[in-house]
Structure 1
Amino acid sequence: MKRTVLLFGICILLVVSVTGCWSRRELNDLAIAVGLGIDKVGEKYQLSVQVVEPSEVAGNKSRGTSPVTMYQATGNTLLEALRQMTTISPRKIYIAHLRIVIISEALAREGIGESLDFLSRDPEARNDFFIVIAKESKAEDALKILTNLEKVPSVRLFSTLEASEKEWAPTAAVKLDKLISDLVSKGRHPVLTGLKVIGNRKLGEKKENVETILSPADLQYSGLAVFKRDKLIGWLSEEEGKAYNYVNNNVKSTAGSVHCPDGGRITLKVIRSESKIKGSIRNERPRIDIEVKSEANVAEVQCHLDLKSTETITEIEKLSNRWTGELIEKTIARVQEDYKVDIFGFGEAIRRSNPKEWKKLSENWDETFTTLQVNVNMVNKIQHIGKVTNSFLEEMKP
């Protein structure tokens, strides 16, 4: 027995001694990439990589230079371009800590499939970065802009997209695995968030951009890019993006205003939202029923309302339900008419409810989607009216 225990202990020591460090990389030998931009120059790919300057990020050892630097190279493939950067970078570019991948709109219209194959195949690349589309610009332009609040622009872009999706809800924080899943699905096409460079681009590339209260240039998320498989075919507006997120149960919190009955506006802050998509076959035709339930608080009143009255609260709920429901219906109708691709996952809902019928519908689903009957039921309940009941504006009435 003792001999067996001794042998087992020796085996454990041997295993520990030969594992753990064989593939380690010294930090001083690596250039940590946090942002990656993909453009097309002719028939070749242009890769732009935003790399962290450790001494600038650390703070106490700062030399007063930019917290990031950029390396660029072109190649027939993305890996060729990445490896070619060794001719200008003193360290190997390490992409395991990417926060953001930006693809130019021009390349997205050609197709993003080949670019994604590299990212999904490279063993160093993880799946926890966001993918966005540089709207009306090159990807390299977005990576050149220096930003306030966060020293590293790519980290700022990651945090901004997370905050926007959580608090405002017109954007979609899409990671690699989700994007690939939508690309291969027959019942859903992908969407990606658009990223715009606003202001003076040239000044945005200089240190002066972060030395003023109001930066001359900045980066702003704007709209959702609609894809047909891996090709960009158009854009949804900010409000349409919010409707998309309502349908897909992605709204965690947001705000919206509606017209008061006698003029002015009242703003509601959505604090919870839950949506369900149900697919069915009726009279041999597919049908989609969407139910959205949300809870909101009164956040701002710019009109004369008696918020102590339950009838007033009921009327506000009706106005909110009508406005949000119509926005969802109009967005779905526009996608059906203009883009003719199912970005909402209605096909997946049909597949879940009736796999047998889905086999027949799946081959021509986009064509069926254009005439698909969709019913929206919006139920918004007001939970609180804030710290006060009626606005002080009521006391100011003549």
Structure 2
Amino acid sequence: MRGKAIFVGLSLLVVLTGCWDRKELDRVSLVTGLALEISEDDAFSLTIEAINASELNDQMSEGMTPTITYELQGLTMAELLKKMNMGITRELNFSHTRTLIVDEKVAKEGLSKFLHFLEKGGQFRNDFQIIVARGVKATDIITTTYPIEKVPSMKMYEQFTTIEENWGGYPQSALTDFVFALTSPGRHPVAAAVTIRGDPSKGHNVDDNRELDLNALIEYDGMAMFHKDRLVGFLSVEETRNYMWTQDLDQTTATAPCGELGYFALQVYNSHTKVTANYEKGVPNFTVRIIIEGDIHDNQCADGLDEISTYEKYQKLMKEQLEEKVKSTITLVQEKYGVDVFGFGEHLSKQQYKKFKELKDNWDEEFKRAKINVDATVYIRRDGMRTKSFIEQVDE
């Protein structure tokens, strides 16, 4: 009996491995952002952004920089990341990495060779955002400070989350989304784009955060479009929101003219997009059906919001505005860039697989000549303001 008890006890010890792989916090540096560029000798330059944890605590802060950056040049991501301790004392931990900022030149040459290591390795989570630095250096992005959110990569991550929740004009560009689109025969990848408003050279100093008007500010600047893994062009912020309507945008604020000099705004709280695909007379045909519900949140015209005719008028105006804007962005991408970033090929594959199988090897050419219609249905449920606008009363 005693032997059996000893055997059971020893067996339990096997599963009690303890914290064999633990790392003390004072022995690791949390990396929150990466910046990838091409150096002068055509090698690759990787800059890491690591948290200086003591500066994030108001009681321990000594007024120093909240992040530390370090740059190395090399030929592969694996080489660069393993060599970082040439200048960084602590072991690097990438579990909290939020952004990968890539230079335009790197993006134009292709991202697959870098993303393969990041996607395959176990050091990184697959939800970090891939972002293209538009018109500025990638290293300037992760070294531009901000007084409210002291870590640049965390600032961008929170900024994009807020944009997505409040305005809806942000394209999801996490590693998983990018790789999924990259391996899909009916869609090309997209990524968010950022730039710096002001002088990038003046954003590296924490003393700049004491200025009322910041000398440098990271701004969301639309969407980067890729052909496979190579950058081909950008959409503006407004065009990106038009693109998002085709991706089943959830909520946003939409504006349409209600008179010669005035506009009204609709707070959209429910939206659904459905794409129907067909192949007729040798041409791909698609219809993008958008249904939205919302409340009037702003009105610059003197129309009475207590009259049914006003709601009917505004529904028609918003429908026309939405159809025109979404259609114009689709046409722009078809004619200027010729890459199906909308996923129309995916819809054709799901609805007419045999036909898409015949076309998939030459899908971009088919996309360029596809006939795409946009049909919007708008429901204005109520007035989110006063029933009788003071503008209406003034005009009386």
Change (3 A) 1:306 1:52: same
Aligned length: 395
Change (3 A) 1:27 1:283: same
Change (3 A) 1:285 1:90: same
Pair 1:303 & 2:289 matched: no
Q: Can you list the C-alpha shifts for 1:99-123, whole angstroms capped at 9, x where unaligned?
A: 1110111111111111111211221
Change (3 A) 1:12 1:174: farther
Change (3 A) 1:7 1:299: farther
Q: Can you list the C-alpha shifts for 1:27-64, whole angstroms capped at 9, x where unaligned?
A: 22211100111111132111111110111112221111
Change (3 A) 1:262 1:4: farther
Unaligned stretches of 5+ residues in structure 2: none
Equivalent position amino acid for 1:333 in 2: T
Change (3 A) 1:133 1:4: farther
Give 1:84 deviation, angstroms: 2.2
Give 1:17 deviation, angstroms: 1.6
Pair 1:314 & 2:305 matched: no
Rounded to whole Å, the distance in 1 between the matches of 2:132 and 2:280 is 39
Instruction: Name the counterpart of 1:135.
Output: 134
Rounded to whole Å, the distance in 2 between the matches of 1:185 and 1:95 is 28
Instruction: Name the counterpart of 1:170.
Output: 169
Rounded to whole Å, the distance in 1 between the matches of 2:30 and 2:366 is 47
Rounded to whole Å, the distance in 2 between the matches of 1:5 and 1:330 is 78
Equivalent position amino acid for 1:221 in 2: Y
> Secondary structure at 1:189's aligned position in 2?
coil
Give 1:221 deviation, angstroms: 0.6
User: Would the aligned equivalents of 1:43 and 1:76 in 2 still touch at CA under 8 Å?
Assistant: no
**Superposition pairs of residues 361-372 of structure 1, within 5 angstroms:** 361-372=359-370
Instruction: Name the counterpart of 2:238.
Output: 239
Instruction: Name the counterpart of 1:191.
Output: 190
Percent sequence identity over aligned pairs = 31
Instruction: Name the counterpart of 1:281.
Output: 279
Rounded to whole Å, the distance in 2 between the matches of 1:64 and 1:239 is 39
Q: Give RMSD over aligned pairs.
A: 1.9
Instruction: Name the counterpart of 1:393.
Output: 391
Instruction: Name the counterpart of 1:122.
Output: 121
Unaligned stretches of 5+ residues in structure 1: none
Change (3 A) 1:311 1:75: same
Q: Can you list the C-alpha shifts for 1:123-167, whole angstroms capped at 9, x where unaligned?
A: 111112111100011110111100121121211110101111221
Instruction: Name the counterpart of 1:352.
Output: 350
Change (3 A) 1:305 1:92: same
- Which of 22, 25, 32 in structure 1 is aligned with 2:23? 25
Between 116-125 and 175-184, report the one with greater CA deviation.
116-125
Give 1:361 deviation, angstroms: 0.9
Equivalent position amino acid for 1:82 in 2: L
> Secondary structure at 1:222's aligned position in 2?
strand
> Secondary structure at 2:83's aligned position in 1?
helix
Instruction: Name the counterpart of 2:221.
Output: 222
Compute the TM-score of the two structures, normalised by the length of structure 2: 0.95
User: Would the aligned equivalents of 1:168 and 1:255 in 2 still touch at CA under 8 Å?
Assistant: yes
Instruction: Name the counterpart of 2:66.
Output: 67
Change (3 A) 1:377 1:12: farther
Instruction: Name the counterpart of 1:102.
Output: 101
Give 1:7 deviation, angstroms: 8.5
Rounded to whole Å, the distance in 2 between the matches of 1:144 and 1:200 is 13
Rounded to whole Å, the distance in 1 between the matches of 2:320 and 2:385 is 26
Give 1:343 deviation, angstroms: 0.5
> Secondary structure at 2:265's aligned position in 1?
strand
Rounded to whole Å, the distance in 1 between the matches of 2:336 and 2:200 is 32
Instruction: Name the counterpart of 1:92.
Output: 91
User: Would the aligned equivalents of 1:35 and 1:99 in 2 still touch at CA under 8 Å?
Assistant: yes
Change (3 A) 1:282 1:150: same
Rounded to whole Å, the distance in 1 between the matches of 2:259 and 2:71 is 57
> Secondary structure at 1:271's aligned position in 2?
strand
Give 1:318 deviation, angstroms: 0.5
Compute the TM-score of the two structures, normalised by the length of structure 1: 0.95
User: Would the aligned equivalents of 1:169 and 1:241 in 2 still touch at CA under 8 Å?
Assistant: no
Pair 1:331 & 2:329 matched: yes
Q: Can you list the C-alpha shifts for 1:51-92, whole angstroms capped at 9, x where unaligned?
A: 101111122211111111111111111222222221111112
Equivalent position amino acid for 2:349 in 1: R
Rounded to whole Å, the distance in 2 between the matches of 1:4 and 1:101 is 57
Q: Can you list the C-alpha shifts for 1:323-347, whole angstroms capped at 9, x where unaligned?
A: 0111111111111111111111011
> Secondary structure at 1:272's aligned position in 2?
strand
Rounded to whole Å, the distance in 1 between the matches of 2:194 and 2:58 is 29
Change (3 A) 1:295 1:5: farther
Instruction: Name the counterpart of 2:111.
Output: 112
Q: Can you list the C-alpha shifts for 1:337-374, whole angstroms capped at 9, x where unaligned?
A: 11111111011111111221121011111111011111
Equivalent position amino acid for 2:181 in 1: D
Rounded to whole Å, the distance in 2 between the matches of 1:43 and 1:263 is 53
